[in-house]
Chain A
Amino acid sequence: MLKATNLHKSFGKLEVLKGIDLEVQPSEVVVLVGVSGSGKSTLLRCFNFLERINQGSIEIDGQVIDAKKQKLSQVRAEVGMVFQHFNLFPHKTVLENVIEAPIVVKKENKETAIAKGKALLEKVGLADKADVYPSKLSGGQKQRVAIARALAMEPKALLFDEPTSALDPELVGEVLAVMKQLAEEGMTMVVVTHEMKFAREVADRIIMLDEGVIIENTDPKTFFENPSNERTRQFISLVE
């Protein structure tokens, strides 16, 4: 579904990604972990072309994406993204947030978009909040709206960039529950997170990045019980 080949990305002189090869299968849930500065968020953002890659290639659904030739907006419409700070549109109601892109980008008619939008809000447990503005919501509710908003585009895959890192501890669970449900329904997901419990329970594969390279790429059981790399062992002892 998603495939990165020999991916390099630098910010000025600082090389953040040093040749990443990663393939994500349809319906697979891949969790990216690593200490801060390891490049995990940058890698995620490359999959949605929010960062321009310097070298290598990205394939989505078997098609190599050429950032120079293709309309990136069309490519992005197919891969959803959920951000650490939600980034809901504050001047629009919850429902308007969800139906905005289907109407503007996919040219869906308004009635269809509203019906689908309401169903998605129902799914994330926020049907009663359709007409309120984001400023009235808790962090956990905001993030669930953000997930509904991303789902409204019917993406082929969803990218999560530390979706629970900005939340109060008691609100983390409700967001992870929605993500878990999506995983069970077969959504292809790449998740950058520090939630090791989620990684252990939901991930099909855990990938550990360190200084811009992948040092671990394995199933959760092996990752936690028998990691191959010393750095991974240190990391696990730190976060658990």
Chain B
Amino acid sequence: MEFLQTMLEVIKRTAPGFLEATVLTLQVTAVALVLGTLLGLVFALMKISKSKILQTIANIYITIIRGTPLIVQIMFLYFGITAVIILDAFWAGAIALGIHNGAYIAEIFRGAIQSIDKGQREASMALGMTRGQSMKRIIFPQALKRSIPPLGNQFIITLKDSSLVYIISVSELFAVANRDAAQSYQPFETYLVVGLYYLVLVMIFTAILRWYEGRLNVDK
């Protein structure tokens, strides 16, 4: 009983700061997802292209990103880029997260594109479509639908990984909770509350994805 009361107090006390930070968390995540999806698409197409050079570039990118920790990538980009151009922590963090996701999303798209029956490509080519037309009109729309479940998974990971940008002092949800935990001497309760925030965000996200997936399957 006493514990619940303490929890309610902590929730109430942290609410203004946490809600404000949630907005920042969602912004970092949104930028990272848009950038990651675009990069993922470009690198997926490079990987399945006929050009050895493009394939190699894509492979190097994916190998480096998947082979190093995200937190190292964030630090590297922040201190690396801010040495050359002035970029605030928010953008450095969001871009790092986007570049990181691009590698994983590229593999999701590549897998989905290659999973489409080769008869689809042959049928579209036999009708006179170019490779580009066939990809855009026939293969990719089907691949995209097939990518939704793994893509949703990746989006959830991104939402949670966005907490790592606290390391370059972006005042997102985890950074604010971290500060609060130290100042209030209630680390257990504070981290429990911030955990609930992420849990709720992920659940909302999952519900939206389910709804979208359902909508895609309505008539097919």
Contact = CB atoms under 8 A, between A and B. Distances in A.
B99 to A, nearest CB: 31
Interface stretch (B121-129, B162-170, B173-181, B188-196): B121-129
Contact of B120 (A71, A87, A135, A149): A87
Per DSSP, chain B at the interface is helix
B119 interface: yes
Nearest to A93: B219
Contacts of B129: 73, 101, 104-105
Given A87-B117, A87-B120, A91-B145, A150 B125 contact: no
A73 B123 contact: no
A89 interface: yes
A80 B142 contact: no
B123 A83 contact: yes
A76 B125 contact: yes
A133 B126 contact: no
B213 to A, nearest CB: 15
A72 B125 CA distance: 9
A8 to B, nearest CB: 22
Given A87-B119, A89-B123, A101 B128 contact: yes
A50 B126 contact: yes
Contacts of A87: 117, 119-120, 122-123
Nearest to B216: A91
B6 interface: no
Contacts of A81: 122-123, 126
Nearest to B130: A73
B137 A100 contact: yes
A85 interface: yes
A143 interface: no
B115 interface: no
A153 interface: yes
Contacts of A133: 219-220
A22 B137 CA distance: 35
B186 interface: no
Contacts of A48: 126
Contacts of B120: 87, 89
A85 B141 CA distance: 20
A126 B99 CA distance: 49
Contacts of A83: 119, 122-123, 126
A76 B120 CA distance: 15
B112 to A, nearest CB: 13
B128 A105 contact: yes
A77 B123 contact: no
Interface in A63-77: 71-74, 76-77
A50 B129 CA distance: 12
Contacts of A153: 127-128
A85 B127 contact: no
A74 B126 CA distance: 10
Contact of A150 (B122, B127, B130, B141): B127
A76 B142 contact: no
Nearest to A132: B219
Q: Which of B119, B122, B123, B129 has the most CB of A within 10 A?
A: B123
Contacts of B10: none
B38 to A, nearest CB: 22
14 contacts: A73-B130, A76-B127, A78-B128, A81-B122, A81-B126, A87-B120, A87-B123, A89-B120, A89-B138, A100-B137, A104-B133, A104-B137, A106-B128, A133-B219
